[in-house]
């Protein structure tokens, strides 16, 4: 009986662990070796967990035309890089550098940076080691 219980418990843990990533996007769904540029207008800006989402309407006649959902890090991480809930507003004209989706035809991108019409560039960190370093620096600055 103990063997069956251990098997059921192991199966449940495996199911739980393998189903969790589908709750939100992972960088694995993006082609991180390729960058694209989206020039358009912000239609929505969601500064909330688990990730920031920026909706950009591209209307330049290119094959990228349409509404794109650009994913960024969590609000906590983005504040380390100067972002706030008022960094972007619907109607802002922007140039977004992003990684396209692995699955062509989807309008979902992994944001790398956003340049506003006033020339301000907002970075979106994804490089390994970059975020832990920023968190350490924040802690050290509070001492």
The beta-carbon contacts of 112-121 under 8 Å, at least 24 apart in sequence, are 112/35, 114/54, 114/70, 114/88, 116/88, 116/92, 117/92, 117/93
| Confidence (pLDDT) at 27 | 72
- Tell me the pTM: 0.78
| Confidence (pLDDT) at 65 | 95
Share of the chain above pLDDT 90, in %: 69
């Amino acid at each position: 009986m103990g063997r069956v219980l251990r098997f059921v418990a192991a199966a449940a843990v495996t199911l739980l662990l393998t189903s969790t990533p589908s709750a939100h996007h992972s960088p694995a769904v993006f082609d991180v070796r390729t960058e694209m540029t989206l020039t358009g207008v912000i239609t929505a800006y969601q500064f909330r967990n688990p990730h920031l989402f920026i909706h950009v309407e591209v209307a330049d006649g290119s094959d990228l035309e349409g509404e794109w959902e650009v994913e960024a890090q969590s609000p906590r991480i983005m504040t380390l890089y100067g972002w706030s809930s008022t960094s972007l507003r619907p109607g802002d004209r922007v140039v977004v550098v992003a990684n396209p989706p692995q699955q062509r035809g989807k309008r979902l991108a992994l944001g790398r940076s956003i340049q506003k019409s006033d020339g301000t560039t907002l970075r979106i960190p994804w490089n390994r080691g970059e975020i832990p370093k920023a968190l350490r620096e924040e802690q050290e600055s509070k001492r």
